[in-house]
A and B are shown apart, each in its own frame.
Chain A
Amino acid sequence: MDETAPPDLTPLDPRYKRVLRIGGAIHAAVFLIAATVAEIALDGWTGLFWIPALIIGALLVFGLPGRRYRSRGYRLGADELRVVKGVWFHSDITVPLGRVQHIDIGQGPIERANGLATLVLHTAGTQNASVSLEGLAHEDAAAMRDAVREVMRSLMR
């Protein structure tokens, strides 16, 4: 039941797969630690907790990142940005650039180590008021920000 991104979308930077994998590894480590604690607390190493945790951890590190990466994409059109993401809960959001109020570029520590950035477009209002696009190369994000600004300026004129 994998909903892969439609073919006319631009894929994200390949390094983003590694960032997703690191995130998955952190979650997997939490699972394994919890399972280890449970195994020690309920004495007798039965593997009742450890084996499922190991399977989930393996999925988080090796299975899911690839699928999550493939499910994501974006397209910057002449006057709109479309962002597609989600394996199970799939979302496909389109923002006309004429509605953008301001733009952020964010970088978390793992993103910075891999030279990636997140582009966030803010519109007025509350629901879906900010649309974030993760997994762009930092220089691409900056170029997109400038392009969006240019479109905003020409639309306002």
Chain B
Amino acid sequence: MPAAPRRTDPRGFVIKAIEGLRAAILPAAAFAFTRDGDSALLVGAIVGAVSLALSGVLSYLAWTRLTYTVGESDIRVESGLFSRNARSVPYERIQDVSVTQGPLARIFGLVALTFETGAGAGEDLSLSYLSAEEGARLRDAVQDRRDGGAVPAADGEAEAARLLFAMTPRRVFTLGLFNFSLVVFGAAGAFLAQYDEILPFDVWDIEGWNRRLAGPGAFLSGLGVVSQAIGVIVLLLFLALFGFATGIVRTALREWNFRLERTDKGFRRRRGLLTRTDVVLPVRRVQAVMRSTGFVRARFGWHSLSLVSLAADAGASNHEVAPLARAAELVPLVEESGFPPPAPDAVWHPISRIFALIEALARTRFWLLLALVVLGVQAVVQPSDTSGSPWLALVPVAIGLWKALRVGIAMLYTGYTLEAEHIHLRSGWLTPHLITGAREKLQSVEISSSPPGRRFGYRSLRLGVAGTGLTIPGLPTRAAHALRAELLASMRRRDFSRLN
């Protein structure tokens, strides 16, 4: 391909202008609402129009100054209005190409392309916006060049795509129920704190609320105990309804029509209702596989599976490839990833019992302190108050003991098993968690110790894995040193550039 600089799609700057405007809407609205009198709306409109014009001009200029070049060995992007910036990314360093389509871009049929390099956040190369065809063509071209293959443009992915996992609307709904969240109320509170001046009354005026309740709300206090109890129940039901609705909406926006396919280039995941994302993750870039679950969903037999990759996926290095699945549904996925589950007869090496005990006891310290505070308050501040029984102090003690029990038992379940190619680390009792890492793909090995560790003979082993960390806490000292020696021997076999 001749290396001629190209521009992004001209319609892209319209989208950017509108996106830029979004930041100006709130100030303009605030202007319109805070000013009294007839001129308020006019001023607001003028502020909005000036913002739109400015945003449009800036977006247009930025568009004229941005070019990209698909070269023989790298992709180059030159950009910048006042300070120019030229970035070059060699094909071998591109880990992942992701295509994103926001709601606005979808109307115009445009996509944003991000070339992920495994560098820190914000250091990636991205092009927004390209036409959907140009985006797909560029992605295929980059991936083919990187993999050193010829350029089969037309018949590339359609033939080999094989569906590995998909989520039905019903499954998305179920996941939404587990994602119960009351974050809306937090967000509403934050919004009130930020923009309280644009509301027509003072939110924080307690007197005012009292007055309002004293008028039309007076009948509330006149109701009996039963009615008030019913009121509390209704309130709780309302909260629950809101929590579930939030969970379902957020989950549906994210996971709608989730499809994971195995193409000849790797795993391809598409999901999302309004913003549809399309990520391709090459199989050999997978560093580790994580299987986890939640406290409630574990009771219903659900699991989730993530692949840890060198590349970042919208800021996170965990690529969720099955958000909610039965164990049997994960089997083909895990096999395809090249990270098989531990053998059924695997020998699990436990961590130090003393470490488990110390960790469990450490969890109780906050709750024991709280119990002491409760007793102290009752003894000193209100010795005659009959409402506070000293038995109240048992509540934090019970919570502390439950936490200690959970942590202690979870620690007894924690352990690792070493196979020829992989290391598995399992943990958790009520929420079992399994990480499988490739021994050759580990980056570093660290043995660390604290004073109690040296006293009781245990060490922590921290393994550097690109995209995540893998820590085996509280290993008996001799086991830690033996494991390090074995892992270092297997890591030496191949160089990084041959692995990824």
Do A and B come from the same complex? yes
Inside 8 A of B465's CB, which chain A residues have their CB? Answer: 125, 127
Contact B454–A125 (Cβ < 8 Å)? no
Cβ of A92 within 8 Å of any chain B Cβ, yes or no, is: yes
A104 at the interface (CB under 8 A from B): no
Interface segment, A13-21, A32-40, A94-102? A94-102
Do A128 and B446 have beta carbons less than 8 Å apart?
Answer: yes
Q: How far is the CA of A5 from the CA of B470 in the complex (A)?
A: 25
| A-binding residues in B (CB < 8 A) | 118, 287, 310, 317, 442-451, 454-455, 462, 464-471, 484, 488, 491-492, 494-497, 500
* Nearest CB on B from A84, distance (A): 9
Closest chain-B Cβ to A39's Cβ sits at a distance in Å of: 31
Partner pick for A95 among B444, B449, B471, CB 8 A cutoff? B444
Listed by A's residue number, 10 A-B pairs whose Cβ atoms lie within 8 Å are: A3-B454, A89-B450, A90-B448, A90-B450, A92-B446, A98-B492, A98-B495, A99-B443, A128-B462, A131-B444
Assess the A98–B494 pair: CB atoms within 8 A: yes
- A143 in the interface, Cβ–Cβ < 8 Å? no
B406 CB to nearest A CB, Å: 25
Which of B446, B450, B455 is most buried by chain A, counting CB atoms within 10 A of its CB?
B446
Q: How many angstroms from the CA of A123 to the CA of B287 in the assembled complex?
A: 14
Question: Given A96-B492, A101-B496, are A1 and B468 also a contact pair (CB < 8 Å)?
Answer: no
Among residues 82 to 129 in chain A, which have CB atoms less than 8 Å away from a CB atom of chain B?
86, 88-96, 98-101, 123-129
- CB closest residue in chain A, given B442: A99
A131 to B444, CA, bound (A): 9
Q: Report B-chain residues with C-beta under 8 Å of the C-beta of A92.
A: 446-448
Complex alpha-carbon distance, A101 and B466, angstroms? 12
Interface residues on A, range: 20 to 34
Instruction: Please provide the chain A residues from 140 to 156 with a CB less than 8 Å away from any CB of chain B in the complex.
Output: 155-156
Contact (A127, B469) CB under 8 Å given A96-B488, A99-B443, A156-B497:
yes
A139 touches B (CB below 8 Å): no
What chain B residues lie within 8 Å of A90 (beta carbons)?
448-450, 454
Residue from the list B317, B448, B495, B496 in contact with A91, Cβ < 8 A:
B448
Contact among B447, B469, B492 with A79 in the assembled complex (CB-CB below 8 Å): B492
Q: How far is the CA of A155 from the CA of B492 in the complex (A)?
A: 10
On whether the beta carbons of B469 and A126 are closer than 8 Å, the reply is yes
Which of B443, B451, B470 interacts with A124 by CB under 8 Å? Answer: B443
Contacts of A95 in B (CB 8 A): 443-444, 464
B488 partner residues in chain A, CB cutoff 8 A: 80, 94, 96
B451 touches A91 (CB 8 A): no
Shortest Cβ distance from residue A139 to the other chain B in the assembled complex, whole angstroms: 26
Q: Which residue of B lies closest to A78 (CB)?
A: B492
CB-based contact A124/B449 at 8 Å: no
